Amino acid sequence: MACKTKGSYETGEYRNLFLEAGYKEEEIDAKLDQAWSELFGGDPDVRIYYRVGDDMGYILDTGNSDVRTEGMSYGMMMAVQMNKKDIFDRLWNFSKTYMQHTEGRYKDYFAWHCRPDGTRISQGPAPDGEEFFAMALFFASNRWGDGQAPYDYAGQARTILRACVHQGRDGEGDPMWDPATRLIKFIPESPLSDPSYHLPHFYELFALWADERDRPFWREAAAASRAYLRKACHPVTGLSPEYAHFDGTPSGPQPHGDFRHFFSDAYRVAANIGLDWEWFRKDPWQVEQSNRLQRFFRDIEVSDYRRYRLDGSPFEEPALHPIGLLATNAAASLAADGRDAAPFVRKFWNTPLRTGTRRYYDNCLYFFSLLALSGRYRIY
């Protein structure tokens, strides 16, 4: 496969790994359009998007029957990448109306999950939602232009990021990024991080478009996240934990479970690293890391995916989201230059969307990987 020496941010060019693997442009376009149609309007056992009234819609976590900021912000990112403004605005209206706080310690943050009727289940936020909301809104502003509130997309993004950095400095609440380390937290009150929340490629762009006073912070956050991922990923297997301390070491067991190991949240790390390399090409370690991870999974069938300790030893427990894991292993090919990169792309191409109750998370990761590997996950 060809490899650019500069990232897409500088060149304006995006690799199409499906094309490089021998698939035709029209086949690739058709596959992407078909996946979008199935997820946003297909059969009941595939779709994850649902319209509400005249101007709203939501992404359903089908495994938990709730609506999460993860899924809502993911849906907005998918919509802006696919140039689907109506669906973007519907998702944003739902999020703004039912999930974003207007006062108190969480002002301008979003309640991380609610019921499909908008009733909040929890008040607290999950920072991966806020960072995806902000990035999708900036892209919407750049692609479609700003309108009247709440469609003043860039202004809305800056409000979210302002809270993420400054909440609690002059009043109640906590910031979403640790002020000392510049690392994103698992939740604002937590002294832990989640490696899969680290999106240095987003922070590079926040450093261009956020409030001017915060731009140095975001540049530092991008560098800090890249350094953090080096510590959090195992040097032999490439596996990372779901939760980790700010020094990159796995967290201890939490009240709601044991997240020291490689499981569902952690799958996203590979895709995030791949996209950061594609967009910015700032850390050659990302190539080595992507090769390591693909080498670990090379001879494991998708049906045999498990929960793993970081050293690679498996638990008996099967992967809850095997299609999502395959999708992110394939997305690692954006950075990988080893012999496993092309086979993972082809294996992913030949795998359909997941159906059934647990399809939501798998198919979000699936669609993002489709975008990335086809060169359609772009900076706007």
Angle between helices 200-209 and 215-232 (to 10 degrees): 170
Q: Active site includes 265?
A: yes
Residues 6+ apart with CB under 8 A from 357: 62, 63
The catalytically annotated residue of 70, 89, 194, 283 is 70
Residues 6+ apart with CB under 8 A from 42: none
Whole-Å CA distances, 231 to 105, 124, 266: 32, 28, 14
Closest CA to 15 of 340, 274, 211, 338: 274
The catalytically annotated residue of 108, 128, 178, 265 is 265
Question: Whose structure tokens read 């779901």?
Answer: 242
In this structure, the number of other CB atoms found within 10 A of the CB of residue 126 comes to 23
Q: Answer yes or no: are the C-beta atoms of 27 and 33 closer than 8 Å.
A: no
Whole-Å CA distances, 253 to 122, 192, 358: 22, 12, 25
Encode 41-55 in three state secondary structure. HCCCCCCCEEEECCC
Residues 6+ apart with CB under 8 A from 245: 191, 192, 193, 251
Question: Whose structure tokens read 């709730």?
Answer: 66
| Nearest-angstrom CA–CA distance, 214 and 81 | 26
| Nearest-angstrom CA–CA distance, 169 and 154 | 23
| Nearest-angstrom CA–CA distance, 345 and 333 | 7
Q: Active site includes 194?
A: no
CA dihedral (269, 60, 81, 347) positive or negative: positive
Q: Answer yes or no: are the C-beta atoms of 49 and 59 closer than 8 Å.
A: yes
Q: Which two tokens stand for residue 109?
A: 């943050």
Query: Known catalytic residues?
Result: 70, 265
